[in-house]
A and B are shown apart, each in its own frame.
Chain A
Amino acid sequence: MPIISIRDLVVEYDGRRILDGLNLDIEHGETMVLLGGSGSGKSTLLRHIIGLERPKSGSVSVKGIDIAHCSAAELKTVRRSIGVAFQSAALFNSMSVEDNVALPLREHTALAPSIIDLVVWMKLAVVGLQDFGKLHPQELSGGMKKRGAVARALALDPEILVLDEPSAGLDPIVAAELDELILLLNHTFQMTVIVVTHEMPSAFRIADRIAMLHKGTFSSIGTKDEIRASTNPRVRQFLDRVPGDITKAPTVAAYFEKYMQRQEKYE
């Protein structure tokens, strides 16, 4: 049975369809990479997987619980088994890094403060921030913030780790270090990892399977090799970095014509 099951997921904002009937199963212990260009709906899909938003229709089941229609108590239980690191890191600026990591432990466990301190140190050590625990997020670099967010996401040893654009804006070395960390977590703790990214090297390094989103639908789902060998034009365009036709003369002319028609209509 898949740990996450998405069925016919439809999401609309102000009548605009963002996700259009998505279906996806993510197996336990799998690293699934959600790939896609900007505005393809990756982060929206992620927000529905972690239950931050409710879809227009369809279902998202995590560990057998439909989080789009479950009770608040059930949603809390599901959330305790998910660790999330946001694209912006979203560490609490009013707290030190170690307090950020300690927060879920203090709130959800009855561990003694000395044990919490030890666990926090271990989590920070996993991401290489053991010497920076006393600092506040605003005193850290972008890469350190992202690693801090991963440490916080790991605090409760979640079954599912969700990372939104973990390598975006990082230098290649730090990005590669994060990739290795994800692989380590997946192999050592059998965590199910979902990573949203549009960084191709990172995706092909860490993924067991890749789901490629385009305009709210999956254009392709498969293993790394299947995606590499795909003949789907959207996938090929993405992999081969082929620019769209947005700057080509006929496209610009079509935009201009539409603009003129609109102006005439208003007059």
Chain B
Amino acid sequence: MASVLEDVGKKTLNELDYVGSLNIQLWATLRAMGSALPFVGNRYRWQAVVRQMLQIGVDALPMVSLMAICTGFILAMQGASELRRFGALHYVIDLVAVGFTRELGPLLTAIAVSGRSGSAFAAEIGTMKVTEELDSLRVMALEPVEFILAPKYLAALVSVPCLSIVSNVCGILAGGLFMFLSTHLSPLLYVRYVLTSIQLQDVMTGLIKSVAFATIIAHVGCLEGFRVRGGPDSVGRSTTSAVVKSTFLVIVADAVFTAIFYFTGKP
């Protein structure tokens, strides 16, 4: 019994330590963000931000678009099969449009970015730690948080919401394709229905979520990299851990945000 309690206590302390480390890292990064900003910050740091935006955002575009198109099509088909029975096929448009802008667009994007970039952050920083590159930075009076983390975080803050918008558009267009194929609804009319069914608030809540998801993915990925101990096997474990933890935390954060918006009367 005592050993069970010991284990539970130890794991709880470990999790609290992890959350504490995430918070400390977040504050340290926010303090260092000024150096990564364009015009007012360090020129080389901003170049790093642009490179990261290309990797996180532009390189992920095909994957995120395809995922959104497939999911939009699936959602429309599944919705149609049920709603048709009640003669409410036109509600498929609301289902796809509202579902994507509030929920699926940001969530799908976050899962894709977590798999692509969260793991890459952990692997990159973990390898730098194993090869003493992080120590090299420190002895050159360069802080890894400012040099590595701040550009990645700023790039994620810009790229993830942009990708979410692309995901929303692709998912909704896939719904339109389904409606055209199944009911011959003209694309223009479909767009008009979509614009009447979604509100600016829906888009904004989706974007707020995607900013939170970007924070989770960037910080979990980087923290896992910084916590690497030992050799290459540890880098592999941290990479896996980064994807698992960031995906889990993204879904938890999504539930929390959705609950907050629901109970405060905002969608």
Q: A103-B140, A107-B142 are in contact. Are A88 and B44 (CB under 8 A)?
A: no
Which residue on chain B has the smallest CB distance to residue A52? B135
Residues of A within 8 A of B138 (CB): 52, 79
Bound form: Cα–Cα A77–B136 in Å:
16
Q: Per-residue CB proximity of A81-96 to B under 8 Å, as 1/0?
A: 0101011101111000
B131-174 interface mask toward A, CB cutoff 8 Å, 1 = contact, 0 = none? Answer: 11101101111100000000000000000000000000000000
| B interface, CB within 8 angstroms of A | 42, 44, 127-128, 131-133, 135-136, 138-142
Select from chain A the residue with minimum beta-carbon distance to B42.
Answer: A107
Count chain A residues whose beta carbon lies closer than 8 angstroms to a beta carbon of B: 23
What residues of A have a CB within 8 angstroms of the CB of B142 in the complex?
103-104, 107
Residue of B128, B131, B133 contacting most chain A CB atoms (<10 Å) = B133
| Interchain nearest-CB distance for A193 vs B (Å) | 15
**B132–A86 CB distance below 8 A:** yes
* Among candidates B42, B44, B127, B139, residue contacting A79 with C-beta atoms closer than 8 Å: B139
**Cβ of A10 under 8 Å from chain B:** no
Chain A min CB distance to B226 (Å): 14
Q: Is A187 an interface residue (CB 8 A)?
A: no
Taking CB atoms, residues of chain A closer than 8 Å to B136 are: 84, 86, 90-92
Instruction: Choose one: A75, A93, A106; the contact of B133 (CB below 8 Å).
Output: A93
Interface SS of chain B: helix
- With A106-B44, A107-B44 as contacts: A50 and B139 at CB distance below 8 Å: yes
- Residues in chain B near residue A93, CB distance under 8 A: 127, 131, 133
Candidates B42, B133, B139; contact of A92 at CB < 8 Å: B133
- Say whether A107 contacts B135, CB under 8 Å: no
Question: How far in angstroms is the closest Cβ of chain B from A47?
Answer: 8
Interface residues of A in 47-84 (CB under 8 A from B): 47, 50-52, 75-77, 79-80, 82, 84
Instruction: Tell me whether A108 is interfacial, beta carbon within 8 Å.
Output: yes
Q: Which residues of B contact A90 (CB under 8 A)?
A: 131-133, 135-136
Which B residues are CB-close (under 8 A) to A47?
135
Smallest CB–CB gap between B145 and chain A, Å? 12
Number of A-B contacts (CB under 8 A): 48
The answer for the CA separation of A59 and B245 in the assembled complex, in Å, is 40
Contacts of B128 in A (CB 8 A): 92
With both chains docked as a complex, state the minimum distance between the C-beta of B197 and any C-beta of chain A, in angstroms: 46
24 contacts between A and B (CB under 8 A): A52-B138, A75-B141, A76-B141, A77-B141, A80-B141, A82-B139, A86-B132, A86-B136, A87-B132, A88-B131, A88-B132, A90-B131, A90-B132, A90-B133, A90-B135, A93-B127, A93-B131, A93-B133, A103-B140, A104-B140, A107-B42, A107-B44, A107-B141, A107-B142
CA distance A118 to B132 in the complex (A): 27
Instruction: Select the residue from B42, B132, B142 with max chain A CB neighbours within 10 A.
Output: B132
Chain A 101-113 interface 0/1 with B at a Cβ cutoff of 8 Å (1 = within): 0011011100000
User: Chain B's nearest CB lies how many Å from the CB of A265?
Assistant: 20
Query: Closest CB-CB distance, A159 to chain B, in whole Å?
Result: 14
Residues of A contacting B127 in the complex (Cβ-Cβ under 8 angstroms) = 93
Contact A79 B133 (CB under 8 A): no
